[in-house]
Structure formats: structure tokens, C-alpha cells
Amino acid sequence: NTKFFYSVSIYCLIYVAVVTFSVPFATFLTVSGGFLFGPNLGTVLSVVSATTGAAILFLVVRGGFGDSFSEKIKDIESIETIRKGIEKNIWSYMFLIRLIPLIPFWAANIVPALLKVKVTVYSITTFFGILPATLSVIRSTIRSLVSFAFSVAICFSVISS
């Protein structure tokens, strides 16, 4: 049980760091989590870790760069479109940003911080917004690899007989 606890802890810490520093490695970690811990626990660990890393980045951007960058980006048309969507219905807009990943994950982590979205709204919509895609990625990848492995096993059994 101690080894399992350490495995989960190390996995989560690596995942949080990858998301916090916007390293494009999260999808690989998501799939790895499904293989290491099973699809259900792997999904929970991936979503919790991704949300934690995103929230840390959000808070760092807001605390360190918020005011100076907010002024610089206010005239960018795509940012203004996001601002207007957030002003109309923050919950729906923030949830859709995560659910339909048209905006890169790193940008979806930074832009809301610059637009003064509340961290609670940001964290809740991030968690529930990435949940369906994370579950889908883990389950479909595991299914595909199991199917491939089964096909290879059948080929080897036919060749060897």
C-alpha cells in the first residue's frame, strides 16, 4: 500500500508540474494514468491533477502578471470576444472553453486569469469541463491498445501453430 501511495503521489506531482509549466505532455500522462491506475482512478487522478496545476498557473498569472498584461491584451480582438462571452454568462462560457477544446489548454489557463475570472468559478468549470474528454481519452486508448494486443496475440498463435 505504501508503494501505491507513492506511485499516486509521484504521478500527481508530475502531472501538476506539467500543467503548471504548460509542458505539452499532459495527454501522455492522462493515458499513462489510465494504464497505471485503471480507467476510473486514472481519470480522477488526471482531472484532479490537471485542475490543480491549472489553478496554480491561474493564480501565478493573476498574482504576478495580472494587471500589467490585462492592460496590454485589452485591444486584442480574440481576447475581447472571450471577455464578452464571460461577461454574458461566465459559468457556461468557462465550461464550454474546457468542454470543447478550441482554445489550447495553456491559453485557457492564462486568459481567464487576465480577465479577472474568480478562481472558484475557474476551478469548478475546469474540473467538470475536462472530465468527459479525459475519461474518453483514457477509455478509448485502453480499448484500442487491448484490441491491438489481442490481434497480435492471435497472429502469433496462428504463426506458431
What is the structure's pLDDT at 84?
81
Confidence of residue 18 (pLDDT cuts 50, 70, 90): very high
Confidence of residue 72 (pLDDT cuts 50, 70, 90): low
Higher-confidence residue of 42 and 105: namely: 42
Is the predicted pLDDT of residue 9 greater than 90, yes or no?
yes
Rounded distance between C-alpha atoms, residue 50 and residue 130, angstroms: 9
Q: Which amino acid is at 141?
A: T
List the alpha helices (DSSP H) in the chain. Answer: 2-20, 26-37, 39-73, 77-88, 90-99, 105-114, 119-160
What is the structure's pLDDT at 71?
66
Q: What is the DSSP letter of 100?
A: S
What is the structure's pLDDT at 62?
86
What is the structure's pLDDT at 69?
66
Rounded distance between C-alpha atoms, residue 94 and residue 126, angstroms: 8
Confidence of residue 73 (pLDDT cuts 50, 70, 90): low
CB 112 within 8 A of CB 86: yes
Distances (CA, A) of 53 to 19, 77, 147, 153: 5, 28, 33, 39
What is the structure's pLDDT at 161?
67
Distances (CA, A) of 143 to 26, 38, 39, 132, 137: 19, 12, 10, 16, 10
What is the structure's pLDDT at 66?
62
Indicate whether this model's pTM tops 0.85.
no
Grid coordinates of 113:
486569469
